[in-house]
Structure 1
Amino acid sequence: MSNSSLTSVLFVLLLLVGLAQLLGALFVKLRQPKVIGEILAGVVLGPALLGRLPFFAGVVGSAMHKSDVLDFIYWLGLLLLMFLSGAETQQLFTREERREVGWLTIVGTGLPFVIGLVFGPALIRPSLEGPNGNKVSLIIILAVGVAVTSVPVVSKIFSDLRILHTRFARLVLGVAVLEDIVLWLALAIATAAAGKQALDPKRMFTHLALTVAFFGLGLTVVPRIVKRINKAEFNILAKSSPIGYAVAVLLAYCALAGALGVSLVFAAFLAGFAVVHKKRRLFAEALDSIGKVSFAVFVPVYFAIVGLKLDLIRGVSWGMMAVFILGTCAIKILSVSLAGRFAGFRGLDLINLAITTNARGGPGIVLASVAFDAGIISSQFYTTLVVAAVLTSQIAGAWLDYVLRKGWPLLSPVKSAPSLDTAPERPSATA
């Protein structure tokens, strides 16, 4: 790479990191998810705004199209996001409220997914299809897009609102973790089917078998093996450089997945899952350090590039966007409300659970990114999925903040025990 090319890449990185952090902080001040500001940074630098100016169009366009550096950073940000999400997963499972989590997962997630699969064939249009798309992959992407809930964004909202310790948070995050594992597998199947207009049954079976085996072993057997290696006496790297060891596990998982033809996104998630394996304290400082750097640089750049890819001039179908967002939100909210009633919730409880689990956030954006990069979906459908993820996350954060400011309970108190699901103490207006 020439000096001038490297300079342009570094300048674009400066713009992406700086603007993503600036707008992210602004949205936090506005009590909105930070990820929205980070995506907006890419939109501002893209063809909808600054990208229309000759200078920015030339510099950003050159860096994006003539260099693999930004593409690598984009993927590194995505892999680190999934790795850290997998590491958080171990802390979200709990033995409490199994009945409620079961109903919310099976009905609240399963029903929207099944509706997407059943009605998908009638809803699929050529405008949704990318260069490698086919009916099978598109139907699965549509079904996942209806059902997905964001673990990272919802966790961040709960943390910002100081309600991460509550029963409400445990229920929502428990449901989100369970459904995301299943939906990532569905997305893996969709990517396996991509580009095969005439599906080769033998090749498809082999690919899917490898994917399912990778997932199954990555959730059961392999974490136990990694746990033994983590504490083994011969593991000098884990003792001398826990950060380097954690990153090495991530790279090993991704290298193995690449060799088997399994998506690297899912490998990164399973790598985080394996490193922690119910013993986060073993690598707590290492993961915190990786998280600080990742969420300061690489993850914001990933989300900013997601925004940069949005073509809000030529790549938007307002009709498609309106129908998809309104239709999928209605299906998800009604399904979760029905599941909540089966689980014994009523009134405001149902509204809080439905609006919060409708937040698609990071996984919704990852879904769009993976499907778009695999050529499954069109730029219009990509934009629709990203905007849906942003809007649903924004609505969830705003609603929960409103409920807490009103002093309303997030969940009705359990009769046998006092509830923690109330608004945290806030300074008075005269303080």
Structure 2
Amino acid sequence: MHLLANASTAVGSETEELVLHLLVQLVVILVATRVVTVIVRRLGQTDVSGEILAGLVLGPSALGLLFPEISTELFHPSTSTIFVGLAQIGLILLMFQIGMEFEFGEQLGQRKASVVLVSLAGLLLPFSCGYFSAPWFHAQLADPSTPLLGFRLFFAVSMSITAIPILGRIFMELGLSHTRTAALVIGSAAIDDVIGWLLLGSVSLIVAEQFSFVWAAQRIAMIGAYVLVVFFVVRPILGRWLAKDIAKRGGLSLPAIAIVLIVLLCSASITSSLGVFAIIGGFLVGLALHRDRQFVELWKQRVSPLVMMLLLPVFFAYTGLRTDIGAIDGWWGAAVCGMVLVVAFGSKFGGAFLAAKAVGEPTRDALTIGVCMNTRALMELIVINIGYDMGVVPRDMFTMLVIMALVSTFMATPMIAWLMKSERRPVAAA
């Protein structure tokens, strides 16, 4: 196969070859995702687990191992930039939907202090455990020349991240998004990840020797100001306009969808420029509009299916393509990987569980909160990819952290379903 070999033989052929290559990739990803999803559904997992696993199957851990030439030709680097763009847009839209889906105020009531405490405990304990255990892991690496300080900081941040998009998908697919526990978890995870992204930005600058406390203070002040603008300026103006437009047209019109997309993408651009990444901007706008349940339902009917069926599988699959399980070397490598799991799961689950018990949550709900906060998935992959690109997370540790993220995700669905089985609604109603 040489899809790009004759790309410049005729006017416009290079573009057409690129489009053809991209279309073939999309077809393969969607077919693989549907097949794997059917299989994992029978094993009690949600669709998101199948989408992640499909990426691993198509990547160097399976297809690349068995048929390296086909894998290289199929997922040619020429389309990687397009894939990153599609994946990030899909993730922003998903975060927007997650923000709209959860009825925070109604479900949490007076428990906002609980959200903050669970979030901080689920962040500080794993960060500390990761930072102080990192030297031992650094000594076990195949490439111990990796800078120790940079490795410690990135390892600590990787222990701290919670995967909001994955939790949102799991709760929605299990029919649990209406519950108070779901709202508490998503609220805690949102605070957790905002602080985590700030930490990531600070750590990146420390590694690059550009950090200053003035920078951190400026970022925090600007983010706080932007949150106030979204909730006290954008929300009332956009909410009133949407309500009038829906009443006038009898539904969600194309101009209304366009306006919402413009606001959403602008918000994502602003938060990205403030150092907390674009997905937080999507989440903030969704949270600001979540009270208008009519708009939420209309958006889910008209826009969400495209996001769920096309853009999100691209994000999950493309990320899986970058993971190579074969990078772990021998039994000792497997043992070190096991220790990574122990530190990650023990600190994250333990911190969230103890905090939930401290604020008066029943044991079953506290266990659920601990399991949920331990779910890292592809938010974790974003962090470790940045560390890998900066040269402070070597390939073998990168693979171990990927495994940690995936194991935490596959554990989450059956455990959440079991712990919250009495609160489930039919998915169509949820």
**TM tier, smaller:** 0.7 to 0.9
Map of 1:241-280 to 2, 5 A cutoff? 241-256=255-270, 260=273, 262-263=274-275, 266-274=277-285, 276-277=287-288, 278-280=290-292
SS of equivalent residue, structure 1 residue 48 = coil
For residues 75 and 122 of structure 2, the distance between their equivalents in structure 1, rounded to whole angstroms, comes to: 42
2:213 corresponds to 1:200: no
Q: Which residue of 2 aligns with 1:219?
A: 227
Matched letter for residue 269 of structure 1: I
Give the direction of change, closer, same or farther, for the CA distance of 1:101–1:396 in structure 2 (3 Å limit).
same
Q: Which residue of 2 aligns with 1:417?
A: none
Matched letter for residue 54 of structure 2: A
Give the direction of change, closer, same or farther, for the CA distance of 1:354–1:249 in structure 2 (3 Å limit).
same
Matched letter for residue 302 of structure 2: S
Provide the TM-score with structure 2 as the length reference: 0.77
For residues 425 and 79 of structure 1, the distance between their equivalents in structure 2, rounded to whole angstroms, comes to: 26
Contact 1:113 1:144 survives alignment (8 Å): yes
For residues 188 and 268 of structure 1, the distance between their equivalents in structure 2, rounded to whole angstroms, comes to: 15
Map of 1:59-78 to 2, 5 A cutoff? 59-62=73-76, 64-65=77-78, 68-78=81-91
Q: Which residue of 1 aligns with 2:325?
A: 312
SS of equivalent residue, structure 1 residue 68 = helix
Matched letter for residue 220 of structure 2: V
Partner residue of 1:300 out of 273, 288, 313: 313
Q: Post-superposition shift, 1:325?
A: 0.9
SS of equivalent residue, structure 2 residue 277 = helix
Aligned length: 400
- Provide Cα deviations, 1:354-404, integer angstroms capped at 9, x if missing partner: 33332223433343345445655333333223322221122122223344x
Q: Which residue of 2 aligns with 1:107?
A: 121
Partner residue of 2:152 out of 135, 139, 149: 139
Contact 2:48 2:169 survives alignment (8 Å): no
Contact 1:43 1:49 survives alignment (8 Å): yes
Matched letter for residue 174 of structure 1: G
Map of 1:358-373 to 2, 5 A cutoff? 358-372=374-388
Matched letter for residue 403 of structure 2: V
Q: Post-superposition shift, 1:129?
A: 8.7
Matched letter for residue 322 of structure 2: K
SS of equivalent residue, structure 2 residue 326 = coil
Give the direction of change, closer, same or farther, for the CA distance of 1:292–1:366 in structure 2 (3 Å limit).
farther
Q: Post-superposition shift, 1:329?
A: 0.9
Q: Which residue of 1 aligns with 2:238?
A: 230
2:403 corresponds to 1:387: yes
More displaced stretch, 351-360 vs 373-382 = 373-382
Partner residue of 1:378 out of 391, 394, 398: 394
Q: Which residue of 2 aligns with 1:414?
A: none
For residues 68 and 154 of structure 1, the distance between their equivalents in structure 2, rounded to whole angstroms, comes to: 27
Matched letter for residue 212 of structure 1: I
**Percent of aligned pairs sharing the same letter:** 23
Q: Which residue of 2 aligns with 1:46?
A: 59
Partner residue of 1:32 out of 37, 42, 45: 45
Give the direction of change, closer, same or farther, for the CA distance of 1:389–1:221 in structure 2 (3 Å limit).
same
For residues 51 and 134 of structure 2, the distance between their equivalents in structure 1, rounded to whole angstroms, comes to: 32
Q: Which residue of 1 aligns with 2:174?
A: 161
Q: Post-superposition shift, 1:127?
A: 4.3
For residues 190 and 90 of structure 1, the distance between their equivalents in structure 2, rounded to whole angstroms, comes to: 33
Matched letter for residue 415 of structure 2: W
Give the direction of change, closer, same or farther, for the CA distance of 1:239–1:167 in structure 2 (3 Å limit).
closer
Q: Which residue of 2 aligns with 1:97?
A: 111
Contact 1:16 1:41 survives alignment (8 Å): yes
Q: Post-superposition shift, 1:113?
A: 2.6
SS of equivalent residue, structure 1 residue 109 = helix
- Provide Cα deviations, 1:207-260, integer angstroms capped at 9, x if missing partner: 545532442223222442322542577999x975222222212332344456x4
Matched letter for residue 322 of structure 1: G
Provide the TM-score with structure 1 as the length reference: 0.77
Q: Which consecutive residues of structure 2, in runs of 5 or more, have no partner in the other structure? A: 1-13, 246-251
For residues 299 and 367 of structure 2, the distance between their equivalents in structure 1, rounded to whole angstroms, comes to: 38
Contact 1:21 1:300 survives alignment (8 Å): no
For residues 165 and 119 of structure 1, the distance between their equivalents in structure 2, rounded to whole angstroms, comes to: 38
For residues 100 and 241 of structure 2, the distance between their equivalents in structure 1, rounded to whole angstroms, comes to: 23
Q: Which residue of 2 aligns with 1:80?
A: 93
For residues 239 and 16 of structure 1, the distance between their equivalents in structure 2, rounded to whole angstroms, comes to: 31
Q: Which residue of 2 aligns with 1:178?
A: 191
Q: Post-superposition shift, 1:23?
A: 1.5
Give the direction of change, closer, same or farther, for the CA distance of 1:125–1:114 in structure 2 (3 Å limit).
same
Contact 2:223 2:271 survives alignment (8 Å): no
Contact 2:41 2:47 survives alignment (8 Å): yes
Matched letter for residue 267 of structure 1: A
Give the direction of change, closer, same or farther, for the CA distance of 1:304–1:402 in structure 2 (3 Å limit).
same
For residues 181 and 286 of structure 2, the distance between their equivalents in structure 1, rounded to whole angstroms, comes to: 27
Q: Which consecutive residues of structure 1, in runs of 5 or more, have no partner in the other structure? A: 404-409, 411-420, 427-431
